[in-house]
A and B are shown apart, each in its own frame.
Chain A
Amino acid sequence: MGRIKDSFERARNQESKTLITYYVAGDNNLNFSKKVFLKLLSHADIIEIGVPFSDPMAEGSVIQRSHERALSSDITFSKILSLVKELRIHNQDKPIVLMGYMNNFLSQGENLFKKIKKAGVDGLIIVDLPYEESEFFYNKLKDIDLDLIRLISPTTPKKTIEKIVKFSSGFLYYVSFRGVTGAKLSNFKEVQDKVKYIKSKTKIPVVVGFGIKEGEIAQKMSKISDGVVVGSRLIDIIQQKNFRLNDSLNFLEKSLKTFKRDVRKK
């Protein structure tokens, strides 16, 4: 397990928490998203590449629209893997994680995981992977050194948390509230308690995602966890600039620098 583990260690050495960013491959077209990912790679610690799906059940409206734009730009799974290969030419150190829905992965057939690994991906997040299939996936990915990153939510019972951490690697992704991506955080105390409990059960880093919209929340969350995931907010920023490339990238860079400062220990 290379890059993901290293990235958490690197952050620790810099007295910082890990900044993870999410953006959708192919939004607003393949080349545009490549430029965004390159920017993310140079400022964030881990990048998640969203695999667009026609029916993204767990996403709020900002990321839904992002998936729709990507699909109408004719993005395909093989184009996403080529994109990762190109990103790897520019950056060999930072972890790249694919985040998507079961059906898109299933459609790729038997050799999928090997192809993903070969392209330079370090881990997978499958939003709708059911618990009873996680052991199978975990072992399959472990064989080829890919991490299976699992989600834990406020409604996950303690007993289930103990089961989930057994078949997870890389990091654990704590969903900060009951809702879809991009909605608003409601109960900080609950997040704090839950993350504390998860951390008592595993040595795997725990990051918090969903609802990380402003620096203040990013600061609070990174104090109680190993890092934060920012997604909808970044897409928002780019949308505000109407996908004009240079404006978007400049605005994005500014925002990433702020988030980076927010996750640093005070």
Chain B
Amino acid sequence: MANKTNNYNYPDKNGRFGSFGGRYVSETLISALEELESLYKKIKNDKKFQEELTNDLQTFVGRPSPLYFAKRWTDKLNGAKVFLKREDLNHTGAHKINNTVGQVLLAKKMGKKRIIAETGAGQHGVATAAVCARHGIECIIFMGSEDIERQAQNVYRMKLMGAEVCPVSSGTSTLKDAMNEAMRDWVSYIDDTHYIIGSVAGPHPYPMIVRDFNSIVGTELKKQSKILFGKYPDKIVACVGGGSNAMGIFYPFIKDKEVDLIGVEAAGSGLSSGKHAAPLSDGSPGVLHGMKTYLMQNSDGQILGTHSVSAGLDYPGVGPEHSFLKDMGRVHYEAATDKEALKAFHDLSRVEGIMPALETSHALAWVSKNAKKLKKSDIVVVNLSGRGDKDMQSVAKADGINF
């Protein structure tokens, strides 16, 4: 592992992270993926593009996001010191916007007139609708009909910003089916449409592009922790669904082996119940949505339905780079149940006055469980990937409250 970590330079030229990743899509999409890849490589280090991006991140998103010391929660946990990287304070309420502000600029450079995206909890849909409104580009969001019901407020937010929300009722009517439908739309309108995938998933070059745009989180954390602690954190914890917030905060630290990286999946009703969304903890490698990665599937290669209290983690796959980092041993992956996540949600709300997203609450649950086992001098940073306002309905329901 040591050697691999020192020379970490992925994906390779075929879009692979070891055996994971790749480009498993129908032939019609290949040329669009190649166009996107070559444009991205060309302008990635272009000064003007970087300036434009930085300006948008500062003035539209509100970056840099603060690194906050959760003092009362630390006292309560009576273990390691816990800091929160406040992505919940971003415009539209989550890390998702880091990616969409970047990709909309790519779309404009390619001269695309129409943008499509998939969304589960609605956060990526809202973040996409926002950048499209700002740039005056037509925006279509694909969303599972079940999620539309669960996340009615986010649907309305998207519509307010001018997006068209297309319900998807095939398969399980959730995120994975919304992604299938977005791909189908993309094949049909490939010449003038850009597809903004919302996670570090899908065919190459998406896992790379989404990671790079989100890695601003880890890059800022490096600077902030040097100033605040004089060193890097001992542990960084993030929740993993598709895995974009986790890749964003982990990626700049991969070569810094002294930093432990912990990804937390959704264990739903428990790993042994089978009702969960934890492919890294309890899945096997396969191909879905254009990538080879760990999946929840049966022995015939059919993708299984997932369960999590958080719509954003309710996905049977995971970004291919996470699969690679798991097998390599660089990132440690665990899982937290619905119950543990809900408890962490309540704890942080009561003790710190910060309501985290239910997705993020899975990472917090890991800290609740493990802080005591760590040294008091240890510094743990949690990527507070999103705010919980969107989850009021789900939390109230779990608590047996009707509005």
**Would you give the shortest CB distance from B321 to chain A, in whole angstroms?**
18
Main secondary structure of the interface of A (DSSP, over half): loop
Stretch at the interface among B182-190, B228-236, B394-402: B182-190
Contacts of A55 in B (CB 8 A): 171, 176-177, 180, 288-289, 303
Contact across chains for A54 and B187 when beta carbons are under 8 A apart: no
Contacts known (A77-B300, A178-B189); A60 close to B184, Cβ less than 8 A: yes
Total number of residue pairs linking A and B with CB closer than 8 Å: 110
Stretch at the interface among B18-26, B156-164, B210-218: B18-26
Contacts known (A55-B303, A103-B288, A107-B299); A175 close to B28, Cβ less than 8 A: yes
Contact across chains for A57 and B32 when beta carbons are under 8 A apart: no
Contact across chains for B187 and A106 when beta carbons are under 8 A apart: no
Contact across chains for A156 and B300 when beta carbons are under 8 A apart: no
Stretch at the interface among A126-134, A136-144, A215-223, A253-261: A126-134
Interface check A192, CB cutoff 8 A: no
Contacts of A132 in B (CB 8 A): 14, 22-23
Stretch at the interface among A116-124, A147-155, A230-238: A147-155
Contacts of A156 in B (CB 8 A): 27-28, 30-31
* Residue of chain A at shortest CB distance from B303: A54
In the bound complex, how far is the Cα of B287 from the Cα of A129, in angstroms? 10
Interface check A58, CB cutoff 8 A: yes
In the bound complex, how far is the Cα of B188 from the Cα of A61, in angstroms? 13
In the bound complex, how far is the Cα of B205 from the Cα of A72, in angstroms? 34
Contacts of B274 in A (CB 8 A): none
Residue tally, chain B, CB below 8 Å to A: 36
Contact across chains for B170 and A61 when beta carbons are under 8 A apart: yes
Interface check A29, CB cutoff 8 A: no
Contacts of B287 in A (CB 8 A): 101-103, 106, 128
Contacts of B329 in A (CB 8 A): none
Contacts of A68 in B (CB 8 A): 170-171
Residue tally, chain A, CB below 8 Å to B: 43
Contacts known (A103-B288, A107-B286, A156-B31); A178 close to B191, Cβ less than 8 A: yes
Contacts known (A68-B171, A155-B31); A57 close to B188, Cβ less than 8 A: no
Interface check B290, CB cutoff 8 A: yes
Contacts of B191 in A (CB 8 A): 178
Q: Pick from B31, B184, B302: contact of A54, CB below 8 A.
A: B302
* Residue of chain B at shortest CB distance from A59: B184
User: Contact mask B91-121 → A, CB, 8 Å, 1/0?
Assistant: 0000000000000000000000000000000
Contacts of A105 in B (CB 8 A): 301
Interface check A179, CB cutoff 8 A: yes
Contacts of B290 in A (CB 8 A): 128
* Residue of chain A at shortest CB distance from B305: A54
Contacts of A152 in B (CB 8 A): 27
In the bound complex, how far is the Cα of B113 from the Cα of A264, in angstroms? 43
- Nearest 8 Cβ contacts at the A-B interface: A107-B301, A153-B28, A179-B188, A103-B301, A128-B24, A104-B301, A102-B287, A153-B27
**Residues of B at under 8 Å CB distance from A?**
14, 22-32, 170-171, 176-177, 180, 183-184, 187-191, 286-290, 295, 297, 299-303
**Residues of A at under 8 Å CB distance from B?**
53-61, 64, 68, 71, 76-77, 101-108, 127-133, 150-157, 160, 175, 178-180, 183
Q: Can you report 17 residue pairs joining A to B where beta carbons are below 8 Å apart?
A: A55-B171, A55-B177, A55-B289, A55-B303, A58-B26, A60-B184, A71-B302, A76-B300, A77-B300, A101-B287, A103-B295, A106-B286, A107-B286, A107-B297, A151-B26, A175-B28, A183-B188
